[in-house]
Structure formats: structure tokens, C-alpha cells
Structure 1
């Protein structure tokens, strides 16, 4: 059906220009980051599922966030790595390109909603601890996760549909390493001003719609923490929020530069670098940020490792 609306039936990815030696170095670097990201997120999921002391809303959301991180990187990074190994340009069908863009945007939207849910969870835990178990019960947490996934996959149907109903007649060569919406607009002969404006507004809605509750939550959290006398309880409260807050700042700041732009056809070099930060660097750093600053998770992780060692030893 898409073929009726587009002159292009496949796309070529330019990827990363340079010598074979440079491409090999990039492959080794990105493969390392991708492997460590997968391992880190799998460790988080395993420890959250096994550790009885981590059966709480915060770690329930963290486990699902790790799943989303793994899926988001897997949708894009393996294809990028394969392109680095090929002597020429990587060829991707129109259907595969459409599927990749849809999954990438949908998973990203769901991830932002989970970031918001985690911020609200921390707000309730810090500012209203006596009612925490009542408000953040298992039923509520399950519905929050379901709504995050469903909304993400439903919300991105129209943007992807509109993008791939453009008329690609200029070229079928994408100056990127994955199906980027901005580069697809660059190949279109249609003016698409209305579509471009709508995509911009939808990006604003997702990012700022999820960021606003996060900002409000942390405003109250910081205000409450400042009133707590210095001590062990003060540090414990700070540590439970610091990791999530750091990931929110890093994730939103880079995503704002990448997605919230009225002109979708931005410079390829800018998009490529920003995409690498979002798809390679962030997923690599997030597992370390969430675990190193979380004393409870570190303790449970050590207990789980000791238990596994004893099982193997016996």
C-alpha cells in the first residue's frame, strides 16, 4: 500500500563515512557500548525480578524502563553495526524503514511516560510517605505501565503514517544510520508544511507533557528534602531520587535538541551525533547511574551474586 504513495521502494543508508579502519574502530566502540547496555539492563531486570527487597513500585518501573531501553537500542543499533561492516551502503526496504521508525518512536514515547511515572512515584514516597502504599499500590502501578506502552504505540501511528505518505522523488539515499524522520522529509518533493508543523506540535506534546509533571514533582521533592535534617535518612532520601533525576536531565536535554525542532530537515551531522547520544551513550550510562547511586539495589545485587556463587559452588 505504501508503494502507491511513494516512488521509493527501498532506502540506502550512508551511515558513517570514512576509511575501513575508521569504520572498524567505530564498530568496535559501538558494539562495546551496545553490549554493555544490554548486559546492564538485563542485570537490572534479573535483580529486580529475583530480589524480594526490590518488590516496590520504584523498581517495578525501573524493570520496565530497562526493557524499553533494550528494545529501543535493539531496533536501531544492530542495523547500524551491520552497516559499518558492509563495504558499500546498507539497503533497507520501505516496509522495514517504516517499521523501524514506528518502533523507535513508540518505544521512546513509552519511555518518557515511564520517566514521568517514576518521578510521581518519588514525589509520593518523599512528600506523602504515609499514604505511599495506598496510592502506589500494585493495581495502580500495573495500569500505569500498561497505559505507557499502549499510549506510546497508539500515539505514533499518525506521525509514521504521515511521514511515509510523502512522495520521495528526490533520492532514496538517507544521510543517516537509521530511518530518521527528518532525513525522510529531506528526500520528499512535497512541501509538507502542515505535516511538519503537526509533527513538531506532537513532539512538544510528548516531551513537555511528560516533562511538566516531572518538574513539578521534583520541585516538591527538593523542597521537602531541604527541610530534612542532615543525616542517614537525609542521604537515603537524596540517593533514591538522584539517579532518576540525573537520567531525566540527560535524557530530556538531548531529546529536546534532537526532536523538538520546527525544521525537521536539520543538518545530517547534527542529527547523527545527537542520535548517537540518545541511542548509544544514554543506554550505556543509564544502568550505571541507576545502580551506582542506589544503595539498596547495590546491596540486593551483591546478595544475589553471592547466592548465585553458592549455587554454582555447590
Structure 2
């Protein structure tokens, strides 16, 4: 928990810079819901209420979904960083050290991240029975709880891109103590790459082809992945029963059958793209191929990459159990 690491905040030397890309939302005339720029960036003052005194720190919080958070907190030149990505892990680093796995804090950050995401998106979501919500005289949430974790909310201000009201004071009452967060700035149109919520060089299985696990939240994923791509043209496709598992993709209006893995036997006219770096956007929003491709190229440009090929789009049938649309393109850093 954060309080446990407070002595490190105050005594440790300055930490090395460990930043992940943050991208402002691309300008688009299409529906805002179709944009992946739905993340939050919040900065302000964090007060830990201890038995004998208050301890004040500066904090910066990034939220990528209900299960992805990055929290940097401390004093100038000496800050701790906490990372949470449900399903992958929880980590923290103190100034001057490398990231370490932090299993003890995973459950705590899981609850807090879910609470934060629910509160910030409450106007867009239907009532979720797992949360208990009280409203103030202006019909705005004044207290939201999940289990033993309670957040009292106040001082609403128009900080959103379109004047949306957000609470700037978050008073946490938890089994691990009391914490008061006062945010001076909140961005509701930010976009973070997946790597923002994992330690540097974190090696996770992150395929450009496979859909997410059933239990994963319906959140956009923007990430850099390294994969080899093996495929055949539509004219060479015989029968899916005779071929290894794969999916149909579209590239420049042409259909290709892409294999999940490199085939173990020889396939006539098979092609490949190997040794490349890809930028991937996976979304559950209803996004057209042209809009999604254009959005992905904008994301690449704004995140310091340039595309070296055309965008590939994974086909999704109308009767798909979960409508996951995937856009990928080969990129290199500028």
C-alpha cells in the first residue's frame, strides 16, 4: 500500500526517469465513443492521514480502464511508481531501484482502480449493483463504496474536454487508512499505450491476432507488439478445415487468411512478414475500417512512430460473441 512506502518517498535519492508514452486524443469529427482516447490523467496533492500527523505528497495518476492504473507519488526528485494491470501483475519501484513485483498490493489496487473508473465514467454507465452510491443536493455522487472501501467526493469542477463535472477532492476511507486526494488538473481525453501500465521490458504474451480472454474488461488496448505474420491470399484459400487455425484480415481492400501460428507443414503460396514491430489498436466499439485505419495512423504519428506499411484490419462477423475489432500496422520509431 502507498502508506507502507512513505519512508522511501521521503528519504530515497532521485529516481531515474521512467516514463511511458502519453498521447493526447486525436481530433476527429466522428463519434467520441469510437475514439480510443478515453483514458484519464489526474495530478494533484495527496495527503496521508496518520495517527499523529498528516503527510503530504504530490501525485500523478493515469487510468487506462477499470483494471489498469499507474500512480506516481512522492516529492520532487524522489517518487515511487506503482503499476497495476489486472491479469498481468502489480509492481512498484522506489527511487533509484528497478520495478519489483508487488503481489501484496494487487487486491488493493484492483479495488481502487475499479472505484476510480466507475466514478469517472458514472454519467456514461448504467447502475452497477456492486457499487453503493449516495448523491448530493445537485444529484452528483457524494459517496461511492465498494466493499470496505469508501470514497467521499466533493468540489466538483468543469475539467473535462466538454465541460464535464468531475470531483476534485477524493476522501478515501479504507481498511488501510485515510487518504485525501485533491486534484488540480484532470484530463479526460488522454490515451496511453499499454506499456504505460507495465514495467519496462515486461515480456507478456500480447498477440496481434488473438482476441482477449473472456474475463477481460471491454476496454480498448493500444500497444506495441512484435509478431511474425504468416498468411495466404484469398485466391489460395482452399478450405479452412484443411488449414491451421487462423482468421480473415483485410489489407487495402484485399482479403487474406492469417494463421495463428507459423504452419508446421508446407503451404502453397504462403507469405510472411517477420521481424517487424507493430502498433495495434483493439476495440469493442463499432468502428468502420476506414475510420479505424485513419485513427491508428494518427496514433502512430502522435506517439513518435511512422508506419512502414498499410493497415491490416481483422474481420469480425456480425454474429460474433464479442465484437473485437483489431487494427495493426508495421511501424518504426521516428
Q: With structure 2 as the length reference, what TM-score do the two structures score? A: 0.25
Specify which structure has the higher proportion of helix. Answer: 1
**Which has the bigger relative contact order, CA under 8 A and spacing at least 6?**
1
Q: With structure 1 as the length reference, what TM-score do the two structures score? A: 0.27
